[in-house]
Amino acid sequence: MEPMIEVRDLCKRFKDVQAVQNVSFDVKAGECFALLGPNGAGKSTTIKILITLLSADSGEAKINSFSIKTAPYRIRESIGYVPQSLSVDGALTGRENLMIFGKLYGLSGAELKERVPQILEMMDLTDSANRPVAHYSGGMIRRLEIGQSILHHPAVVFLDEPTVGLDPIARNTLWGHIRDLRKQYGMTLLLTTHYMEEAEVLCDRIAIMNRGRIEVMGTLNELRKKAKMPKASMDQLFVHFVGPSESGEQGGLANVKKSRRIAQRLG
C-alpha cells in the first residue's frame, strides 16, 4: 500500500535562508504523525508546500497518491487544513460557518444538510450551533475549525498547533476529538505542536526538525533508543536532539507577537 503522505528530498530556499533541506518522510494511511521543532526549523514551510500554498525548489511530495507538481487541485480536494490563524467568522453562528465552508468545498445541498448536524454533534457544538461564534470559548472555536476542515471527509488533515492558547481542560477535550477523527473516519493526521506531551499522547510517530532538516524520526520508544534514554519524556528527547539553546532562542519578535495573538483570541 502506498503511503498517504510521501515526501522525498524536499527543498525550499528564501534568499539566503535554506528553510527546508532534503526533507523526506512517509505517513501511512490512518496514522497520526507529528512534525516537531523549534521556531524557524522549517515545519510551517514544509506544510505549506504539502498543502500547495508554496512551491518546492526541488524534490517531490505526494498526498493521497497525487503529486504536488502535477495535481495540486486534486490534493486540495483530498485534504483538510486547520491553520493557527483564525478561520471562522465571529459574526456568524457555528452552523452558518459550517454551511459556508461546505459550499466552498462544493458539497451539495443534501450532503450539507446531512453533514453539518453530524459535525456539530461530533464536536459537541449542537447546543451552541445557533449562537454567534464571537460568544464561543477558545476550545469551542478550535473544535468548530476542525469541524470545518473535515466536512468534505478528506483523506488527510493537517493540524497546525491545534491546541495553542487553550487551557489544559480544553486541550484534553480536543485531544479526544482528534482521536475520534481517526476512529470514525480513518483519517490520516499530520500535526505540528510545541506541546511535547501532545505529540506523545496523540501520535504514532514523531519527526523532529531543526534548521530545515529532520534530525530524527520514529516512535516514542525508537526515539528513546536512539537517544539511549529509555525513560525519557518527549520534552527531554526534544532537548537532546535539538539542544536547549535552539529550542529557546529562535523565532524573534514576529513569532512572539503571533503566538500571543493566537493565545489571546483562543483564551
Using an 8 Å Cβ cutoff, are 192 and 159 in contact? yes
* pTM of this structure: 0.88
Lowest mean pLDDT among 109-113, 212-216, 222-226: 109-113
pLDDT tens for 8-54 read 999 999 999 999 999 999 999 999 999 999 998 999 999 999 999 99
Using an 8 Å Cβ cutoff, are 219 and 212 in contact? no
pLDDT tens for 67-87 read 999 999 999 999 999 998 889
Q: Which CATH class is domain 5-85+155-266?
A: alpha beta
H or E element that contains 156: strand 156-160
Q: Which pLDDT does position 249 carry in this prediction?
A: 45
Q: Which pLDDT does position 258 carry in this prediction?
A: 57
Domain boundary assignment for the chain:
5-85+155-266
